[in-house]
Each structure stands twice: as C-alpha cells, then as structure tokens.
Structure 1
Amino acid sequence: MRNELEERIMSARKILDEAQIVIIGAGAGLSTAAGLDFGGERFEKLMPEYGKRYGYDNMYAGDFYPYETLEEYWAFESKVILLNRYELEALPLYKKIYNIVKNRNFFVMTTNVERQFVKSGFHEMQVFATQGDYSFFQCSKGCHKKLYYNEDKIREMVDETKDCKIPTDLIPKCPICEEQMKINLRADQYFIEDQAWDESSKRYNEYVSDVGLKKVVYFEFGVGYNTPGIIRYPFEQMTYRNPNAHLIRFNKDYPDGAKENVNKTISFTEDISIILEKIYPER
C-alpha cells in the first residue's frame, strides 16, 4: 500500500506524462535548492573578507550595505557576479529539470538572474528571465536602452581588487550620459527592458495565450511571496481557468495553492532533487 508521499509522486508522474504542454515557473528557491546558496558555508568560504570587514553573513545583505565608496561597492558586486554567473557551471538540479522536459512542448518563466536554465541546456528562445540578468550592465539612470555584456569587465574588477576595493578607473560609467552603470536587475524605475527582453516577453505571453484548453502542467519551483504577481498568482489563475490544467508546486515554506484549485494542485515541501528523481528516475 502506497503512502501519501508516494501517491503524490505517482500523481505528478501521471499528470506530466499526459500533459501536452509544460510551463515552468522558477524563483529563488530553485537556485537555493540547487546549491546556489548566497549565505552560510558558501559565503564564508568564498567571500570571508567581506563578512569580516563589513559584518554581514550573506551576499544579499552585501547588496544593501551602505558602502562608503563606489570602489568598495563594485569590488563586492563584481565578486558576486563572477561567483554566481561566470564561474558556476550548470547545476545538477537544473539539468534534471531540463532532462525531464527537453522532449516536451515547454516554456520557462523565471525571476532568477544567474542564467542557470540556459547553461543547463534550455534554449534562450524558450526562457523568459523577466527580472534581468547578471551578465549585463545598463545605465543607472536608464538614459538609453542598450545593455552591455560585462564578463571581461567583471573579471578585471575581481583581478584588480585590493583591500575590498577596485581601482577608481574601473568603475563602470555610461558611455552616453557618464552616470554610473549598474547591473541589469529590476530594482527601480530605471530597469532597462531592451529589445531582447521585449521579444522574450512577447514569445512567453503568446505561448501562454495559445494554451487554450490543452492539457497543461504549471511546473513551479521555489516561488514565494516576494514577487507573487509574476509567477505564483498567474499560475494559480491559469490553472483555475483551464479545466485541463494542473499545478505541481515545489515550495518548502508556502506549498498551498488557491482553495479553488485544491483538486488540481500537487504540492511538495520535500527536497526538489529527491522528488524529481523519484518521479523520473530514468531521466
């Protein structure tokens, strides 16, 4: 006799096997589950000098620290981007998700900015990273809509960092208005949605609109209530409106779905990697 967890696993497998479409929604909880931890032992191992100097214990806190100089801020920020965007290989959990859906009709919506989906095999044309990308600089005042790929500049900043500061001449400046550059992350009204972002948004929205009444699984990973209007609430609404839709939600803190979807939602608080391996051990 199967236990309750086994029933959920078997139900998720059946729903996925029968689905005509799989739409993935991924938040920060997926990257954390995959091992991309911005605090704890990883921070202590990779950025001990920053914790010792400024007193914070994770990379998120470092983003909001009131650095006295831009030289200090960019020393920290460049190290974070190097570690989480350029030096980190495709993580096994992301590759597992890709292996599950790679031969399916699918699309990805993510608020994550580390580009792990593309690294893991997903084609850029099937991924909409709505909150930006660590890979690009933009004008901090949004004076024009061009983005600038930053790998060489980031590596140079890290290489030249001394005493938690970069040289002043490495501070990135906008080539148009000469204001400071910043990373292309949605944090204020100056976030740049360039042509590539517009095209990606259009592809995703057209894809979602074309679902109709097809059998669709909304495959949601680590999406909480930081920005629920981007993935969590829309997934619940689309599940409700389509009688042939189901929501599979992985969330250790907020697993419950809308009460209207109680018979169409399968939730897991358990470890994502372990559950996916049990659902599809052969992939």
Structure 2
Amino acid sequence: DFYYSGTPSFQKHFGKFADKYGFQGAFAGMMYSFKTREEFWGYLATFLHTTQHAPLRKPYRDLDTILNGKDFHILTTNQDTQFMRLYPEDKVSEIQGDHRFFQCSKSCCDEIYDALQPVDAMYQAMGDGTSIPTELIPHCPHCGAELFPWVRGYGNFLQGKKYEEQYQKISKYILENEQKKILFIELGVGRMTPMFIQEPFWNLTLSLPDAYYISVNAEYNFLPEQIEDKGIAILGNIASVLEDVRLEINK
C-alpha cells in the first residue's frame, strides 16, 4: 500500500527519502528529479529491495489455495515477483517485465542480468544515507551504459528473447487447451493497459467453444455484450473475493 501515499509502510521503507525530499508515495519518488545518479540509485535500490523482499501477500496465498490441484497458467503484468515465489517459471508469463532483472538502458544487446545481488549490495552500502557509492551504479558489460530494471516504464523496455518466451508460454498453454473447458480469470486489470490481458481474454472467451470469463475489479465491471452469456463481472475488492472463494472451497 506504499505506492501512492504516505502510509505507515511507506514511512517504514522510504521514510528517510520522504523526510529529505518531501514526496509521499513510492511512485512519487520514482518521478522525483534527484540531483545525482548516486541519489537516484539510492532511491531505486530501496524501491527494488523493498519489492524483491516483500512478504508474499495474502491474496496470492488465497489464489494459490484456489488453484491447488487444478491445471492453470498465470499471465501477469505485475512486476513485483510475488507469483515467482509461488510457481516455477514455466507456469507464469510476465509480459511487463520483472524487478529481479536489469537490462541495458540503451538496449544494445538482447541480454538481461541478475538484479538481486547488485541491489542488495547497493542497499547495504547506503546504510542510513540516501546515496550509493558511485562504483556500485550498474553498467552494461557491453557498451558501458547504465542498466535499469527489466520492466516496462523505466525507458526502452527490452522486448527480446526473454520477453518473447513469456508470450510463447501462454500461447502454448492456450493452444493445448483451446478445445477444453477453460476459465479466464481477470484480476484487477485497469483501464491503462487493457490490451495486455483484458481484451485478449474477451476475444478468447468469445472465440473458444467452451470458455468462460470472470473479472474481479474494485472500480470497473465491464462485460462486453458479445460474451454476457459466457462471463460475469464482479465489482469488489480482490482480496475479499479471493478470501470468500477460498473459504467456500474449504467447506
């Protein structure tokens, strides 16, 4: 809950930055114009370290219980690595990147690099300060440009081999199951990026013979007229809905 406002968890993880620079909410810090690259990387390392080490949240655990014993594949635009703590790589398609990896900021090559060890080193070296040592700023081993997270939104997102693998996994799964009963569950897709999950799910529900669609969203309950007999839109909090489903299953 620390992304958009100065919540207690924001103060816990980012309080020293809020006190020094005056912003509230982790995303506001990502947009802040830091005076030096050392300060920028101090904040980014804190953001990445917090994300990489965050405990597995209850909605993910409830969803895992619901999926237990079922054949499934996860398609996600979340970059927070939570699904990767639950499932092997072949069960998850991360189509917007992953905060566990770096890429070259100039996309000079089709490679991604481990971000866990460098982020831990930056975070430890920063201590109580807000800057990292210059020598810890990560650079591309090929062209020397700075690295940044392999996540859409930081800049020139690398849509190379790793990216294509994510689409290959979900495409293979759908092709193998297109003639079976298949349920598309859409959880919390906003109106900023409907083209990655929401609209493909609508089209697949319409075109596949035995498909059904369920969406859960706290703000929107869109259900196209063409699939109104093959779907349901639940207007509600995802955490509450998943908990209710888990409790019903456990009965």
TM value normalised by structure 1 = 0.81
Q: Is the 8 A contact 1:140 1:182 kept in 2?
A: yes
Number of equivalences: 246
2:104 matches 1:139: yes
1:136-160 deviation per Cα after TM superposition (whole angstroms, max 9, x unaligned) = 1111001111111121211111122
C-alpha RMSD over aligned residues: 1.9
Deviation >4 Å, runs of 4+:
none
Query: Where do 1:29-178 residues align within 5 Å?
Result: 37-38=2-3, 39=5, 40-85=7-52, 87-119=53-85, 121-161=86-126, 163-178=129-144
What residue is the counterpart of 1:258 in the other structure?
224
- 1:73 offset after TM fit, Å? 0.8
From the superposition, tell whether residues 187 and 273 of structure 1 become closer, same or farther in structure 2 (CA, over 3 Å): closer
The code of the aligned residue for 1:71 comes to: E
2:235 corresponds to which of 269, 272, 275:
269
Q: Is the 8 A contact 2:48 2:119 kept in 1?
A: yes
SS at match of 2:73: strand
1:60-93 deviation per Cα after TM superposition (whole angstroms, max 9, x unaligned) = 12112121211111100100111111x2122221
Unaligned segments of structure 2, at least 5 residues: none
2:189 corresponds to which of 223, 230, 242:
223
The code of the aligned residue for 1:152 comes to: Q
2:206 matches 1:240: yes
- 1:109 offset after TM fit, Å? 0.6
1:183-242 deviation per Cα after TM superposition (whole angstroms, max 9, x unaligned) = 111237732234343323212112223333422111111101111100011111111223
What residue is the counterpart of 1:202 in the other structure?
168
Unaligned segments of structure 1, at least 5 residues: 1-35
Take 2:8 and 2:214, find their aligned partners in 1: how far apart are those partners? 31
1:83-121 deviation per Cα after TM superposition (whole angstroms, max 9, x unaligned) = 111x212222112111211311111110111111121x2
- 1:243 offset after TM fit, Å? 4.2
The code of the aligned residue for 1:103 comes to: G
- 1:244 offset after TM fit, Å? 2.2
1:1-52 deviation per Cα after TM superposition (whole angstroms, max 9, x unaligned) = xxxxxxxxxxxxxxxxxxxxxxxxxxxxxxxxxxx54242321222112122
Q: Is the 8 A contact 1:98 1:122 kept in 2?
A: no
Take 2:182 and 2:124, find their aligned partners in 1: how far apart are those partners? 47
Take 1:206 and 1:54, find their aligned partners in 2: how far apart are those partners? 47
SS at match of 1:260: helix
Higher relative contact order (Cα pairs below 8 Å, separated by 6+ residues): 1
